Amino acid sequence: MNQEIGRRRTFAIISHPDAGKTTLTEKLLLFGGQIQVAGAVKSNKIRKTATSDWMEIEKQRGISVTTSVMEFDYQGYKVNILDTPGHQDFAEDTFRTLTAVDSAIIVVDSAKGVETQTRKLMEVCRMRKTPVIVFVNKMDREGKDPFDLLDELENELQIGVRPLSWPINQGQRFKGVYNIYEQKLDLYQPSKQTVTEKVEVDIESSELDERVGAADAEKLREDLQLVEGVYPEFNVESYLNADIAPVFFGSALNNFGVKELLDCFVKIAPSPRPVMAVEREVNPEEPKFTGFIFKITANIDPNHRSCVAFCKVCSGKFVRNAPYLNLRTGKTLRFSSPTQFMAQRKSTIEEAYPGDIVGLPDTGNFAIGDTLTEGENLHFRGLPSFSPEMFKYIENADPMKTKQLNKGIDQLMDEGVAQLFVNQFNGRKIIGTVGQLQFEVIQYRLENEYNAKCRWEPVRLYKACWIESDDEAELENFKKRKYQYMARDRQGRDVFLADSGYVLQMAQEDFKHIRFHFTSEF
């Protein structure tokens, strides 16, 4: 058991859109032997598309709209990758994914440096003390000076950095990187599919001058002296405590610097760690199984309209067909076909260990945040569900397809990407999301996956807040006065839809005993 836990590495790849997450994931899969030819994100007719962008809309737009789960074996380690969407409209999916991983790799574009979304995601990692490794991508294009980039990373992400590889020039003149961690020279040949040669070379010898040219060799020696002088010695402990982030340079598109990242990562990254539940701390080595659902995906296989709930194993061993208790519903469930994923391809498994992500077939038994145990009363918390900021009425555009529309809305809402409110004044359905792009994705998926058409109608709202109070009379009075703006969510809880910041502020001042919540977890 302990041996299995020790070889697990579960991590998320996060960044601002277009920094190269999905491309990096493809190259890691190439090394793991899971794919023979790496796919491209921006798909032309001839090229193969990226493995982790499997939804139709992802292939067309060239962006990720949902987290993909992939696993492979590498050098005796079992690696679980979660490739997350970078676009801020899907940030909620990414935040939830970060609760299910033990470490993260942040991808930074060498020309753009640290961008807004990267900052937000880093805050979540800091809050949870998640260790991070930084990969500076696109070194084969002109970008910022490496030292300036390191300063920017320290200031913006508020974490110490330590380069473990160093680039030799950049853009058109990019010659490769010197691997400080292994003290080897990696020479660059622009090629999408092959892996470049490694050379053992003494940094002071004349062989270096022959390999990269005298001027670049001299510059490399100076840079490395500066790196050793300015940055602290690399120490695995301080990385695991999330005080220091190792930095690697390379080009994911040209498959360069990726193997160095992976080789170092499997050696130093943490194996599954203890998880805090509301009741107590849960250790991975415990004999009894516990786990939580952090994501639900509708329609992975469009022929079956099936939903899959992703469960992160926290402790013990998950066994196929064993009875497990869902604490929210109190039902005991058995799973005859738990699966492991390679984005959309899946295979049935007999058992899983802490750190693994298991796909469980979902026929409406699960909600995001559910805890599964062998009977113990435990609750894993901290899966945020945000208060939506954009609202639209959803109307049926084809009355013949009402049943399909309702089923589609139900399954897509289970994913937790958007939220459904029913207005008690007129009975109309309102969808709330964090970003505009989600409305397009919902409409596209309803049409393509459920064969149902919807149309959006504008509604002017500022925020949705869940309300509760110990003073029944005041609550009733509030609901009467705000009758037009009251709605219920899918769990039947009261939601106040404020149409402006001023109205919300006045309501909070007038009704002192009512608690207004801006996340649905309270």
Place of tokens 């790496």: 38
The most confident of the ranges 43-47, 70-74, 251-255, 486-490 is 486-490
Sign of the Cα pseudo-torsion (438, 439, 444, 450, in order): positive
- Annotate 406-474 with DSSP letters as a single string: HHHHHHHHHTTSSEEEEETTT--EEEEESSHHHHHHHHHHHHHHH---EEEEE----EEEEEEES-HHH
CA dist., res. 160 & res. 145, Å (int): 18
Report whether pLDDT(246) > 60: yes
Over residues 153-188, the pLDDT tens digits come to: 888 888 888 888 888 877 777 777 777 777 777 776
**What is the domain class of 2-268 according to CATH?**
alpha beta
Average pLDDT over residues 20-45: 60
Average pLDDT over residues 393-404: 88
Q: What is the pTM of this model?
A: 0.76
* pLDDT-above-70 percentage for the chain: 81
The most confident of the ranges 90-94, 304-308, 436-440 is 436-440
Residue 399 burial (CB count, 10 A) = 7
The pLDDT of residue 41 is 44
Place of tokens 């952090």: 294
**What is the domain class of 390-517 according to CATH?**
alpha beta
The pLDDT of residue 38 is 44
Report whether pLDDT(114) > 70: yes
Query: Hey, do 2-268 and 390-517 end up sharing a CATH topology, with the first three levels equal?
Result: no
CA dist., res. 233 & res. 229, Å (int): 9
Can you give the residue ranges of every domain in the chain? 2-268, 275-373, 390-517
CATH number at 275-373: 3.40.50.300
